[in-house]
Amino acid sequence: MNNLYMSKRIKVLLAATGINIVSGLLYIWSVISKNLISELNWTSKEASLPYTVATITMVISMVVLGKVQDNKGPRFTSTIGSLLLGTGFILSGFIKSPITIVFTFGIMTGSGMGILNLSTISTPPAWFSPSKKGLITGIVAAGIGFSAVLYSPLSNYMINTLGSSKTFMYIGLSTLLITCLLSQFLHMPPRGYVVINYSEDQRVNPCNSARDFTWREMLMTADFYKLWIMFAFSASAGLMIISHVTNIAHAQISWEGGFLLVIILAIFNTLGRFLGGSVSDKIGRVSLMRSIFTIQGINMFLFFRYVSVPVLGIGVAIAGLCYGATFSVFPVTCSDYYGAKNFGLNYSLLFTGWGFGGIIGPMTAAYIFDLTGRYNLAYITASILLLLSLLITYSIKPSLITTKDSSSLFGDL
């Protein structure tokens, strides 16, 4: 391979991963919201509303900007996302009203996160061999998971020493500058770009691994709706645990150290994103989905039996690992099935499944806990949804990308 292209694709990969590491500002909210309640006398509902709005605008912004990215390129959309992300967070430091911060954090920062997620997850795989597509996607997605590991202690320290307003402004400004700079390195390969697949001694065009479907053509296929349902159902289980893990620790084992479970969850979420992509290159996308749904389904079915700190920690780790793996396997599966040319908009539409999962998972758990004082039925519900997802995998065709040339995990990076 031409050394120039080798250098460019490594820069694109590092830039995308770096953007994701610093742009996961959603993970700060659980720490900041507690301070807003005590410092500004907000209610719990007022403090949680910006987070809820941010998750919704993440999905909407991806759909709105998906077509723009396909036409204008990821550098353009990533720069827009950086400006929205950082500016929204900086302005939140000047806000005392819960309604106004819904706009600055919920809409502006939430939109920025969605746009950056789309720009970073779609660009690096286009530079690498199809046999490494899962691995590359996993590396980039792991950056988002690592955000929680980075921001949880950092934001907690800054809030305790500087207060919430300065935390908003300093982190917002730093994030704005870093993501804007790294965004300039994001660009798609030139027309006709090929990568030498050394294990097979052949040249491969990574952008032509599947027929390129338009979003209308994609929506006319049954497999899109099957993938959407599986994404929604599988994500709902992980999001249920993520949103309730500290309360689960308190309600299930009377333990006040739930914040430690958040760290465990973040670490294994990151690990799952990396391993999910690389393993899917080895065994195939659908095979990995079946493994995720089976392991997570059993884990959720047994979750109410985790009544000691070590066992609950293991259960949380498994939940984080499986949840993280879905963030690698679904984008690369979308690319396998529907091509790379219109990936921006196509994956944005598939990602709405995650948004739906973010509603049904946490809300189901909250409703059941308020009704019964326990999460047992919520766990059972999650396991049933995962079982349905597992059954759906047997009705879709296998991944279009073969894995026979991925004998080495990293190969020719």
Higher pLDDT, 312 or 197: 312
With cut-offs at 50, 70 and 90, classify the pLDDT of residue 402: very low
Mean pLDDT, range 280-305, rounded to an integer: 94
Q: Residue 199: its pLDDT value, please?
A: 47
How far is Cα 161 from Cα 20, in angstroms, rounded to an integer? 26
392-405 mean pLDDT: 64
* Chain segment 45-55, per-residue pLDDT in tens: 787 788 888 88
223-253 confidence digits (pLDDT tens):
999 999 999 999 999 988 887 888 888 889 9
Local structure of residue 399 (DSSP, 8 states): P
Looking at every residue in the chain, the average pLDDT score rounds to 86
One-letter identity of residue 366 = A
Name 378's Cβ contacts closer than 8 Å, sequence gap at least 6.
240, 364, 365, 368, 369
pTM: 0.81
pLDDT at residue 201 in the model: 44
Nearest CA-CA partner of 337 in 324, 328, 346, 326 = 346
The rounded distance, in Å, linking the Cα atoms of 87 and 108 is 8
Residue 203: count other Cβ atoms within 10 Å of its Cβ: 11
In this prediction, residue 377 has a pLDDT band, given cuts at 50, 70 and 90, of: very high
Quick one: what percent of the chain has pLDDT higher than 70? 91
Position 337 pLDDT exceeds 60: yes
Residue predicted with more confidence, 32 or 386: 386
Q: Mind listing the domains of the chain with CATH numbers?
A: 3-188 (1.20.1250.20), 209-393 (1.20.1250.20)
Cα 280 to Cα 50: distance, rounded to the nearest angstrom? 35
Mean pLDDT in residue range 58-76: 90
User: 202: which DSSP letter?
Assistant: E
Closest of 51, 57, 50 to residue 81, by C-alpha: 57
Collapsing DSSP to helix, strand or coil, 185 comes out as: coil
pLDDT-based confidence at residue 266 (cuts at 50, 70, 90) = confident
**pLDDT confidence tier of residue 263, bands split at 50, 70 and 90:** confident
Output b/e per residue, 151-162; b: 16+ Cβ within 10 A: bbeebbebbeee
In the prediction, which pLDDT does 403 show?
A: 42
Contacts of 350 (CB under 8 A, 6+ apart): 224, 227, 228, 231, 330, 331, 334
Query: 401 near 130, Cβ under 8 Å?
Result: yes
Region 243-271: what's the mean pLDDT? 85
Q: What is the mean pLDDT of residues 13-18?
A: 94
What residue has token string 């996160």? 113
Note the pLDDT tens digit of each residue in 318-333. 999 999 999 889 998 9
* Residue 122: C-alpha distances to residues 83, 231, 290, 334 (Å): 19, 17, 24, 10
pLDDT band at 60 (very low <50, low <70, confident <90, very high): very high
Distance CA 345, CA 343 (A): 6
pLDDT value at residue 81: 96
- 197 pairs with which residues across the strands? 202
pLDDT at 408: 44
Q: What is the pLDDT of residue 26?
A: 78
160-200 residue pLDDT tens: 898 888 999 999 999 999 999 999 999 988 877 776 554 44
Report pLDDT for 389: 96
**What is the residue whose two structure tokens read 């991806």?**
62
Residue 410 has pLDDT above 50, yes or no: no
Q: How confident is the model at residue 316 (pLDDT cuts 50, 70, 90)?
A: very high
- For the chain, what is the largest distance between any 2 Cα atoms, rounded to a whole number of angstroms? 65
Ranges of H-type helices in 106-257: 110-122, 133-162, 164-183, 215-219, 222-253
Q: What pLDDT is attached to residue 206?
A: 56
Q: Distance between CA atoms of 385 and 329, rounded to whole angstroms?
A: 18
Q: What is the pLDDT of residues 102-150, one digit of tens each?
A: 999 999 999 999 999 999 988 998 888 877 888 888 899 888 888 878 8
| 196 membership: H or E segment, kind and range | strand 195-197
Which residues face 202 on adjacent strands?
197
Beta bridge partners of 204: 195
8 A C-beta contact, residue 96 and residue 40: yes
